[in-house]
């Protein structure tokens, strides 16, 4: 039977064990504050337990409380000097506070205590380099090389040390030694070539590229390197030949090709029909030929076609890019923009619907879908798309104005005039001098023959802002007509009608003339409107009856 003291001791050990295991579990879950409480409870039971201090030190370090972490790390490291984890925690805590002289001493001891741990030696070499003890670091790397043979990472670290001391000759010898260790490893020749390029030793670099080509003639990277070499030499023709060879190689990552081509595209936009455009187009064709189904190939080729105003052909390749790409919304934006520019509203509606299924939070896709449905006279669907898309517009007032103005159009055609007015008002809250919105709003009010004073004010402001726009002049003339100010209306319609063949403007001119008792002249304008493409029943009735039907 246990004595009371023995029973209490057993209870405490069980409590300690439970809290310790629970603390480890919470720490691994990332619940650091909960783990901290559990380990502090363990410490209250066994204040000298090194493992508990190690856990507390680890958690405090993760919480950024470096001074407290250091105290716990010192305790456990001193309690068990042969425990590598305790010593490494102390190293990390010293380093967190920039006490590298202290941490290097511990690393030196770790190397002595664990002589077969190459990683401890490498860490010590890095620590020496941080402290500027380059010779000591270099010595360790030499010892590691003797033990393990020539090693790529060791050589790279040695070269960094040597170059930091401007010992370029010694750095070169290390890289030569690495390349001699495996004459079939082209990566080692690339290290040397890069070194020579940086040193301005172009011919030595060229010799390395030749070796790479000899070992692996199908390596596309060598042609990229030779491009850089010949560019540095000023031989742009030969440089471009190697760039073409790299692009012909399907082993070259297509994203690398796309990134290179984007630099040509950016320059070609500034210099259309220039040599840089010609070269970019040639590379784009090569890329498309080598990887014809890749979205990157089709999209890049389409970009260059667009620079040459080959919109029809560009649209085909944007489509090819889009149907093979479900991750990049920019590909779909290009396709929708080309549909819009080509006035292919059936395609725009279909493609924007697919784009929305892939990217349901992209406001541009709702906008294009709304535009398409307005053009297709499905105003209800247009209003729905535009309303849904409004919630996804962020920090883009120009796009917001476009959403609201097109909503105004859609609601007007649905005869939801209150909603139409609200949409235009919202657009004008953002930009009170937006001439497109002012003109459309005013024109719709005039067609409804409502709020004509407001319509006249907006239309007058439009013409003040852009005095030479015949469509805006026509709108103002029509509002004056609705206000029965026929003489003023004639003055404004004459500005709009001069030199135009616009059926709507010609018809309006005829209406104004009729109200001024110039019925013969009115009939001539209505007939001109018909010849210009006017086909409305109202226009045809005016011509037939030779009068305006109010």
pLDDT in single tens digits along all 550 residues of the chain? 455 566 677 888 888 989 899 999 999 999 999 999 999 999 999 999 999 999 999 999 999 999 999 999 999 999 999 999 999 999 999 999 889 889 889 898 998 999 888 888 888 888 888 888 888 888 888 888 888 888 888 898 889 988 888 999 999 999 999 999 999 888 899 899 889 988 888 889 889 988 988 888 888 888 988 898 888 888 999 999 999 999 999 989 999 999 999 999 999 998 877 899 999 999 999 999 999 999 999 999 999 999 999 999 999 999 999 988 878 899 999 999 999 999 999 999 999 999 999 999 999 999 999 999 999 999 999 999 999 999 999 999 999 999 999 999 999 999 999 999 999 999 999 999 999 999 999 999 999 999 999 999 999 999 999 999 999 999 999 999 999 999 999 999 999 998 888 999 999 999 999 999 999 999 999 999 999 999 899 999 999 989 888 7
Q: Which position has the token pair 């090709």? A: 257
Cα–Cα separations (whole angstroms), residue 60 to 120, 216, 508 = 24, 52, 81
Residues in the chain: 550
- Summary count for the chain: helices (H), strands (E): 31, 0
Torsion angles phi and psi, residue 415, rounded to 5 = 60, 25
Neighbours of 169 (CB within 10 A): 8
Neighbours of 440 (CB within 10 A): 23
Q: What's 46-88 look like in SS3?
A: CCCCHHHHHHHHHHHHHCCCHHHHHHHHHHHHHHCCCCHHHHH
- pLDDT confidence of residue 6: 66
**456 CB-near residues (< 8 Å, 6+ apart):** 442, 476, 479, 480, 483
Please report, in angstroms and rounded to a whole number, the separation of the first and last CA atoms in the chain: 115
How far is residue 427 CA from its own chain's centroid?
A: 28
- pLDDT confidence of residue 1: 46
What is the chain's Cα-based Rg?
Answer: 39
Measured at the alpha carbon of residue 261, what is the angle toward residues 246 and 273, in degrees to the nearest 5? 115
Measured at the alpha carbon of residue 196, what is the angle toward residues 191 and 200, in degrees to the nearest 5? 150
Which H helix or E strand runs over 398? helix 397-413
- pLDDT confidence of residue 5: 64
Helices 100-113 and 118-130: crossing angle, nearest 10°? 160
Which structure tokens are listed for 441? Answer: 């709003």
Instruction: Give CA–CA dist 114/301, Å, rounded.
Output: 60
DSSP string for 113-177 = H-TT-HHHHHHHHHHHHHTT-HHHHHHHHHHHHHHH-S-HHHHHHHHHHHHHTT-HHHHHHHHHH
Torsion angles phi and psi, residue 60, rounded to 5 = -60, -35
DSSP state of 376: T
Instruction: Give CA–CA dist 211/41, Å, rounded.
Output: 66
Instruction: Give CA–CA dist 107/125, Å, rounded.
Output: 9
């Amino acid at each position: 039977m246990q004595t009371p003291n023995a029973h209490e001791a057993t209870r405490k050990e069980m409590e300690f064990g439970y809290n310790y295991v629970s603390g480890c579990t919470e720490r691994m879950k990332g619940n650091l504050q909960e783990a901290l409480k559990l380990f502090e409870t363990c410490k209250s039971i066994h204040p000298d337990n090194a493992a508990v201090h190690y856990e507390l030190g680890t958690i405090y370090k993760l919480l950024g409380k470096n001074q407290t972490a250091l105290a716990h790390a010192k305790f456990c490291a001193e309690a068990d000097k042969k425990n590598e984890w305790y010593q490494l925690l102390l190293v990390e805590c010293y380093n967190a506070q920039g006490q590298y002289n202290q941490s290097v001493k511990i690393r030196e001891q770790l190397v002595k205590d664990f002589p077969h741990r190459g990683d401890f030696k490498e860490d010590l070499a890095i620590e020496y380099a941080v402290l500027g003890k380059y010779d000591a670091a270099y010595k360790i790397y030499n010892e590691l090389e003797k033990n393990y043979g020539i090693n790529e990472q060791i050589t790279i670290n040695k070269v960094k040390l040597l170059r930091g001391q401007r010992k370029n000759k010694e750095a070169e010898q290390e890289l030569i030694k690495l390349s001699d260790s495996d004459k079939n490893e082209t990566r080692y020749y690339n290290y040397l070539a890069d070194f020579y390029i940086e040193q301005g030793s172009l011919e030595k670099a060229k010799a390395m590229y030749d070796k790479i080509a000899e070992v692996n003639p199908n390596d596309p990277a060598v042609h990229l390197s030779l491009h850089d070499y010949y560019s540095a030499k000023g031989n742009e023709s030969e440089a471009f030949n190697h760039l073409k060879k790299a692009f012909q190689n399907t082993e070259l990552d297509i994203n690398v090709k796309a990134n290179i081509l984007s630099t040509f595209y950016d320059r070609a936009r500034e210099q259309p029909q220039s040599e840089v455009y010609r070269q970019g187009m040639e590379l784009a064709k090569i890329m498309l030929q080598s990887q014809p189904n890749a979205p990157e190939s089709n999209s890049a080729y389409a970009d260059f076609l667009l620079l040459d105003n080959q919109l029809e052909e560009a649209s085909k390749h944007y489509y090819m890019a889009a149907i093979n790409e479900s991750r990049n919304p920019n590909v779909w934006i290009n396709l929708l923009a080309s549909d819009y520019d080509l006035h292919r509203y059936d395609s725009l509606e279909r493609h924007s619907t697919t784009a929305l299924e892939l990217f349901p939070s992209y406001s541009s896709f709702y906008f294009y879908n709304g535009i398409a449905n307005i053009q297709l006279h499905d105003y209800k669907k247009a209003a729905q798309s535009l309303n849904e898309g409004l919630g996804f517009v962020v920090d883009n007032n120009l796009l917001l104005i476009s959403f609201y103005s097109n909503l105004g159009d859609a609601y007007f055609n649905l005869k939801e005039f209150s909603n139409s007015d609200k949409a235009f008002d919202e657009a004008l809250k953002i930009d009170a001098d937006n001439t497109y919105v002012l003109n459309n709003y005013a024109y719709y009010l005039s067609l409804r023959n409502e709020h004509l004073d407001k319509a006249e004010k907006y239309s007058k402001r439009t013409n003040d802002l852009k005095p030479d726009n015949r469509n805006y002049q026509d709108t103002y003339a029509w509002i004056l007509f609705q206000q029965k100010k026929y003489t003023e209306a004639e003055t404004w319609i004459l500005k709009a009608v001069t030199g135009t063949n616009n059926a709507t403007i010609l018809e309006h001119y005829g209406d104004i003339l009729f109200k001024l008792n110039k019925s013969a002249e009115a009939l001539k304008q209505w007939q001109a409107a018909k010849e210009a493409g006017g086909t409305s029943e109202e226009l045809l009735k005016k011509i037939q009856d030779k009068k305006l039907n109010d």
